[in-house]
């Protein structure tokens, strides 16, 4: 099926090109603000770098970019606090600039110097936030600001998505604002670094106005995950680096310039027919979801599935997209020819907690329905129950409820894993934790504390061993049994104490 869209000839997008193998660029009313660049790709199979710890060597990415469009953005006129103390419009900020961000220390947010690592533009529906001191901010509804009660979005979640924390006239932002004297914050960074971020009644939200129009906006990525915008602490979005390999930026382009390899199935067939191909396992869904909405139009996956099955190549698919249901007959037929693995990500069944941690993602019930449909089609469906959050979703009762729901839906196997606090995500999560569950901060320091000081990305071994035992118990109770399950120590009792009852790990501070 081909698009019945508008061909782009002379547009802003032309400046992004040439892309290798470009056939045409099109727009369609169904995807407002998105340009699809149809390319004739030379290759379909991508080899995973040798240093990667991924359990597969080959992937296929029929598209590049993402239609989820979760970009946080501000007006280009927003003033950004630079490291030397002056303020500079966001439009003038460049990669490499030294600016002011914040970090969490105990119960306090403190100012620190950070560096801009990426910058991009986008176009979004605009909202104006006015504070009591006269400070005004223009941002998208998806943008987040730090309040006395944690990070909050500018606007409520779109219709059909569970409630997410958002600004109201009871919210007070953190920072110093622009409408009241704040000379002490405009000195060089040496006098600001390490100071606690404070707020006042002047920074209470007075009005939030939907401007009823789209505006050009910008965002940046920083080393701390935030920056000071018009005198208040503002969240930033992390860059999506894979688009930069195509000479496109990782922000607006990632969301609105979607690369579609329209010939991917034909190229794949030719590659799989080569005598050198050893029919190694191929993974789909490792970079972008192969069942994003655009797949409903381009229908690339049926050809990919058939090419892999016809060549005798085993493959796996990881997705959250219900569009996979369309291809269940094809997948069932492919499974008669080669090993086929389908996986869905779902780590908690409490919708309130799930939406608090992952606002905007599909409700657990929707993912359970997807799992049920796959199982009813006669296919094995694995569930990646990751990340499990210490003291939030890891109690024996919660793990039991999760495994019970997955068993009822027909899941074949469940793989659990503790939260991975890699740099970047770590800073945001700890800020969120301090705001929402401050009593857990010290416990997380013990679980993720490094013996050398600072943070480790991985939970301590005593915790991961404990979680592995609890998960194995839950799997066994609900019928998830494998003869050689390495995490199932038969001698372990379900009453194994939580590591919080064991000797503490070295403290972070």
Q: Which pLDDT score, from 0 to 100, does residue 351 have?
A: 83
Candidates 297, 296, 254, 359; CA nearest to 33 is 254
Q: Under a CB-based contact definition with an 8 Å cutoff, are residues 477 and 397 in contact?
A: no
pLDDT digits (tens, 9 = 90+) for 160-176: 444 578 899 999 999 98
pLDDT of residue 277: 95
DSSP 316-363: EEE---GGGGGGHHHHHHHTTTS-EEEEEE-----HHHHHHHSTTSPP
Calpha distance 74→80 (Å, rounded): 11
Tokens for 462? 């005593």
pLDDT for 5: 41
Phi, psi of 470 (to 5 degrees): -65, -40
Q: How many CB atoms lie within 10 A of CB 34?
A: 19
Rounded CA-CA distance 51/340 in Å is: 26
Token representation of residue 185: 């914050």
The predicted structure's pLDDT at residue 46: 85
Residues 6+ apart with CB under 8 A from 221: 116, 117, 118, 119, 236, 237, 238, 239
Q: What is the token pair recorded at 408?
A: 């009822």
DSSP state of 286: S
Distance CA 63, CA 495 (A): 47
The tokens describing 336, both together, are 């008669």
What are the DSSP calls for 373-402, one per residue? HHHHTT--EEEEEEEEPTTTT-SHHHHHHH
Residue where the block lists tokens 């190549």: 313
**Looking at residue 377, what is its pLDDT?**
92
Q: Which residues pair with 163 in a beta bridge?
A: none
Report d(CA 379, CA 18) in Å as an integer: 42
- At residue 424, the pLDDT reads 54
| DSSP conformational letter for 141 | T
- Separation in Å, CA 86 to CA 178, 180, 261, 345, 368: 13, 16, 46, 45, 51
In 3D, which of 235, 135, 228 has the Cα closest to residue 177?
135
Residue appearing with tokens 């006669």: 378
- Cα distances from 459 to residues 114, 424, 474, in angstroms, run 26, 16, 20
Q: Enter the pTM of the model.
A: 0.55
Mean pLDDT per 10-residue interval, the chain, length 509 residues? 38 42 71 71 80 68 61 81 90 89 81 80 85 92 87 75 76 82 44 78 90 86 85 71 40 59 92 95 82 81 96 91 88 95 88 71 81 93 90 94 96 90 69 83 86 76 92 93 44 43 29
Phi then psi dihedrals of residue 374, to 5 deg:
-65, -45
pLDDT digits (tens, 9 = 90+) for 331-354: 999 999 999 999 988 888 888 887
How far is C-alpha 334 from the geometric centre of its chain's CA atoms?
A: 31
Task: Check residue 326 and give its pLDDT.
Answer: 92
- Spatial separation of the C-alpha atoms in residues 293 and 304, rounded to whole Å: 17
The DSSP secondary-structure symbol of 224 reads: S
């Amino acid at each position: 099926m081909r698009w019945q869209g508008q061909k782009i000839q002379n547009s802003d997008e032309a400046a992004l090109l040439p892309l290798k193998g470009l056939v045409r660029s099109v727009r369609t009313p169904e995807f407002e603000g998105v340009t699809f660049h149809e390319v004739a790709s030379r290759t379909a199979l991508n080899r995973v770098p040798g240093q990667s710890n991924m359990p597969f060597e080959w992937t296929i990415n029929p598209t590049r970019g993402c239609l989820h469009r979760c970009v946080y953005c501000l007006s280009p006129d927003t003033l950004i606090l630079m490291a030397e103390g002056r303020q500079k419009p966001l439009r003038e900020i460049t990669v490499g600039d030294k600016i002011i961000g914040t970090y969490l220390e105990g119960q306090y947010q403190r100012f620190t110097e950070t560096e801009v690592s990426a910058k991009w533009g986008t176009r979004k529906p605009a909202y104006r936030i006015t504070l009591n001191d006269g400070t005004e901010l223009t941002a998208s509804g998806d943008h987040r600001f730090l309040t006395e009660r944690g990070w909050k979005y500018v606007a409520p979640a779109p219709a059909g998505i569970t409630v997410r924390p958002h600004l109201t006239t009871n919210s007070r932002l953190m920072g110093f604002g622009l409408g009241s004297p704040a000379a002490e914050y405009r000195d060089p960074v040496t006098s600001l670094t390490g100071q606690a971020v404070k707020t006042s009644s002047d920074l209470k939200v007075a009005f939030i106005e939907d401007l009823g129009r789209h505006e050009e906006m910008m965002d940046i990525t920083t080393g701390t995950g935030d920056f000071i915008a018009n005198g208040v602490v503002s969240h930033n979005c992390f860059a999506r680096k894979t688009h930069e390999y195509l000479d496109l930026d990782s922000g607006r382009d990632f969301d609105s310039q979607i690369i579609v390899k329209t010939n991917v199935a034909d190229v794949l067939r030719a590659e799989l027919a080569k005598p050198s191909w050893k029919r190694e396992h191929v993974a789909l869904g490792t970079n972008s979801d192969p069942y994003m909405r655009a797949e409903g139009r381009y229908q690339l996956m049926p050809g990919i599935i058939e090419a892999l099955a016809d060549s005798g190549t085993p493959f796996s698919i990881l997705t959250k997209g219900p569009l996979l249901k369309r291809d269940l007959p094809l997948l069932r037929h492919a499974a008669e020819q080669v090993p086929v693995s389908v996986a869905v990500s779902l780590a908690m069944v409490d919708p309130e907690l799930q939406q608090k941690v992952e606002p905007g993602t599909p409700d657990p019930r929707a993912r359970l329905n997807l799992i049920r449909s796959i199982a009813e089609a006669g296919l094995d469906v694995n569930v990646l129950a990751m990340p499990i959050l210490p003291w939030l979703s890891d109690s024996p009762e919660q793990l039991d409820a999760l495994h019970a729901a997955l068993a009822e839906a027909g899941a074949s196997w469940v793989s659990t894993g503790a939260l991975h606090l890699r740099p970047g995500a770590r800073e945001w999560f700890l800020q969120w934790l301090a705001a929402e569950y401050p009593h857990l901060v010290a416990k997380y320091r013990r679980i993720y504390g490094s013996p050398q000081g600072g943070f480790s990305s991985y939970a301590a071994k005593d915790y991961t061993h404990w979680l592995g035992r609890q998960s194995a118990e839950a799997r066994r109770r609900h019928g998830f049994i494998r003869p050689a399950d390495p995490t199932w120590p038969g001698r372990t009792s379900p009453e194994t104490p939580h590591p919080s009852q064991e000797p503490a790990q070295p403290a972070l501070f």
